[in-house]
Amino acid sequence: MDALPPHGLLYIGEAPNRIAPIDYHSSKMPYYNLLPRELAIKLVDRSRHEKWRQRVWAQETTELGLYRNGQHVGFEDFDLALMPMDQFEQHLIVDNWSEAMMNLYPLRWFEPRNLEDFEFFATSGTSDHPIPQMFGRYWIEGILAKTPTAKPLPRVRFLELSGVDQERIHRDRLGVPIHGVHFNSSARVTVAPEARDLSVGISDKSYGRFQLLWGEEVIGDYAVEDIRAANLGIWTLQSWKTVALPQSVEGKAVEVTIRPTEGSWIGLCPPFTR
């Protein structure tokens, strides 16, 4: 950060996260990204990702092959190379939980759990400071500003969907639970008074339209095709829409209803607020 000019920006992108149960980036093996180098070298031949194995073995040494085919990073690397983690979010102006990034890199099943773990580490005293939420996602993306921001990005809070038939829940290829909501039913979430945005993800099997109700008031009417058309990523399993929420009256939690219109079916990903 010291090398940046005044008011300069630093972009971090396409960095696979070490905090993940599966090495999606390279070997496709569970926990491979967490192994010490000696074990990783010995286990290359166990990977079913043949093209990756051949690329690794094509180098002078297996160790060099692993390095040249990409390594995972974690918050520890940024703590040592850039700044202490207790200062990180003071400089973070864009992260990977935005609508654009959710469409570019759709939700994976373990990402909400990572955020829960971060909360536990902070409250239990395991960590001296909260791990920035940017490191909860598999693909680390963000923009840091040389000058500290006056207002850090809001916290991501995943919400529990109610009113959904448990038999209509299945998992997509990224392991995310998809809650199927038919036009003759609805799903509900309770939103905290401080929440300013609601992010709703829909599966690629969704069709038709749906409405968002803030209490009894309709605050949005959305066509599935419009949400899908805004998804410029290569992954189309999910498409995401972030909606600005009204201010809560008297600082009370509000129930938000997601209601498909006549003839529609919506596959909902776990929604979250900021």
**Whether the Cβ atoms of residue 194 and residue 228 lie closer than 8 Å to each other:** no
Please provide the distance, in angstroms rounded to a whole number, between the alpha carbons at the two ends of the chain: 27
What pLDDT, on a 0 to 100 scale, did the predictor assign at position 11? Answer: 97
Output the six-digit token pair for 44. 């290359």
What pLDDT, on a 0 to 100 scale, did the predictor assign at position 262? Answer: 97
- In three-state form (DSSP H/G/I as H, E/B as E, the rest C), the secondary structure along the chain is CCCCCCCCEEEEEEEEECCCCECCCCCCCECHHHCCHHHHHHCHHHCCCHHHHHHHHCCCCHHHHHHHCCCCECHHHHHHHCCCHHHHHHHEEEECCCHHHHHHCCCCCCHHHHHHHHHHHHHHCCCCCCCCHHHHCCEEEEEEECCCCCCCCCCCEECCCECCCHHHEEECCCCCEEEEEECCCCEEEEECCCCCEEEEEEECCCECEEEEEECCEEEEEEEHHHHHHCCCCCCCCEEEEEEECCCCHHHCCEEEEEEECCCCEEEECCCEEC
Taking the C-alpha atoms of residue 230 and residue 239, their distance in angstroms, rounded to an integer, is: 8
Taking the C-alpha atoms of residue 52 and residue 185, their distance in angstroms, rounded to an integer, is: 46
The domain limits of the chain are: 9-145, 157-273
Condensed to tens digits (0 to 9), the pLDDT of residues 240-261 reads 999 999 998 888 999 999 999 9
Pairing of strands 209-214, 139-145: unpaired
What pLDDT, on a 0 to 100 scale, did the predictor assign at position 212? Answer: 98
Residues of the chain with pLDDT under 70: none
Residues 6+ apart with CB under 8 A from 258: 181, 186, 187, 188, 189, 200, 210, 211, 212, 266, 268, 271
- Inter-CA distances, 150 with 83, 85, 90, 223, Å: 18, 17, 8, 36
What pLDDT, on a 0 to 100 scale, did the predictor assign at position 252? Answer: 93
Condensed to tens digits (0 to 9), the pLDDT of residues 99-120 reads 999 999 999 999 999 999 999 9
What pLDDT, on a 0 to 100 scale, did the predictor assign at position 137? Answer: 98
**241 burial type by CB count under 10 A (0-12 exposed, 13-18 middle, 19+ buried):** buried
Task: Quickly name the fold that domain 157-273 has.
Answer: Jelly Rolls (2.60.120)
Question: Facing residues of 180 across strands?
Answer: 267
What pLDDT, on a 0 to 100 scale, did the predictor assign at position 232? Answer: 78
Taking the C-alpha atoms of residue 109 and residue 173, their distance in angstroms, rounded to an integer, is: 10
What pLDDT, on a 0 to 100 scale, did the predictor assign at position 129? Answer: 84
Taking the C-alpha atoms of residue 157 and residue 58, their distance in angstroms, rounded to an integer, is: 44
Taking the C-alpha atoms of residue 92 and residue 86, their distance in angstroms, rounded to an integer, is: 12
What pLDDT, on a 0 to 100 scale, did the predictor assign at position 65? Answer: 95
Condensed to tens digits (0 to 9), the pLDDT of residues 3-34 reads 899 889 999 998 999 999 999 999 999 999 99
